[in-house]
Structure 1
């Protein structure tokens, strides 16, 4: 239940959820004859939805998260005891088959593979559990890496975690058993601050190996003020990450 609540409650502070809430409030106010309140609430809902659906806003929100972790060529990355790849890029097919559906964040897996092939670490730790009733993501990650000729005996799997905090806690247990102290942490650039903070709080020496960048260098255009579904998704993603950071900071999981 707690896991479910952490996924559901934030929906009410995401742009789409807020826009719906204000629109509902405006509708109720109109039905009760409060015309001024109705207009104000509905306009607020429209403004929130429109603003968060523009590339101007989404680029600002995501760039603020990514700018501290610019891309680093693989050959310039230092060596470490292990490469830690965080999941979040496989989708359930619902077909009952072993097919693996991937989303945009699959860059994480490919970047981890590139680092391994470049000899940056002798082992790869694959981190990712599953929601109830689904197969662990780490298992799917291992299957994919095997297809790209990464030896199974070089992989360590953490397949119980369901969020970034659990990613760190469970992965560190594996590291302690295998005398791993320094890692190359692979995750999406927008997610790196929180993920890096979790592992460092647990006493791990972390070298960020960011990938999966969502925005390029800002280049404003008049078209960026037009609403766009992808921009709304990015704004929501950024807000979700900020909320996650604040919650983790409040609970003492990051510094």
Structure 2
């Protein structure tokens, strides 16, 4: 219920939700002057939410900056959080299809091969309200890591979490049981690091962080970056959702 309610409420106050509300109101209002103004406001919002320069600045402000891999010390356990790293709905079953957040997997494998992490804990479960998928993300990540050279005995699974709060709680139990008083490196998307790190700290697990799947880029102010782009509308959705999630977790006392 929390998952459904949070997704619905976050949609309403995110860019596309705001645009939809403005356009629906513009269509159904009987005041034509107000309707025209609402359409203009909707276009302004659309431009702002899809403007590469503006959205990139928002991303640079929110994302935890990347860490040079050469400066990373050695950790006993690397914790990778799932979520869009593989395309679990795509068949055939035997193929592994990577998703939009697959850089989390790539960075984890690189850290392992460079001996920056000794063990890997993959955390994430299925969300029941979304229905069954042909494949499970956590299993697809495991298969991909093994064919990429990670030893099976160095991979541990936590397959029951449905959100970041549960990632932290469930991982804390595994870490305290099997890797007590060891060092941990948390690996997730750059825009997700703030909330994830805060969740782990809240449950008493001290982690260092390593970012992946960065949406931002270094600043450049070429004229064509003033033109709206559909990719940045999607990025604005992601970053707004993450900020809303952070605020919600704060209100719930989870961080």
Native 8 Å contact 1:93 1:100 kept in 2: no
Q: CA deviation at 1:126?
A: 0.6
| Whole-Å separation in 2 of the counterparts to 1:146 and 1:178 | 21
Native 8 Å contact 2:193 2:209 kept in 1: yes
**Corresponding position of 1:149:** 149
**Corresponding position of 1:196:** 197
Q: CA deviation at 1:143?
A: 0.8
The answer for unaligned runs of 5 or more in structure 1 is: none
Residues 141-172 of structure 1 show CA distances to partners (whole Å, capped at 9, x for unaligned) of 11111111211111110111122111111111
Q: TM-score, normalised by structure 1?
A: 0.91
**Corresponding position of 2:47:** 50
Q: CA deviation at 1:82?
A: 0.4
List 4+ stretches of structure 1 deviating above 6 A.
Answer: none
**Corresponding position of 1:120:** 116
| Whole-Å separation in 1 of the counterparts to 2:18 and 2:121 | 38
The answer for unaligned runs of 5 or more in structure 2 is: none
Q: CA deviation at 1:96?
A: 6.1
| Whole-Å separation in 1 of the counterparts to 2:23 and 2:51 | 20
Q: CA deviation at 1:94?
A: 4.4
The reply to whether residue 63 of structure 1 matches residue 60 of structure 2 is: yes
Native 8 Å contact 1:139 1:159 kept in 2: no
Native 8 Å contact 2:73 2:116 kept in 1: yes
Paired residues in the alignment total 249
* Aligned equivalent of 2:82, options 70, 87, 108: 87
Residues 3-37 of structure 1 show CA distances to partners (whole Å, capped at 9, x for unaligned) of 223223311112122111101101111xx2x1222
Residues 156-201 of structure 1 show CA distances to partners (whole Å, capped at 9, x for unaligned) of 1011112211111111111111134431111111111111111111
Native 8 Å contact 1:93 1:101 kept in 2: no
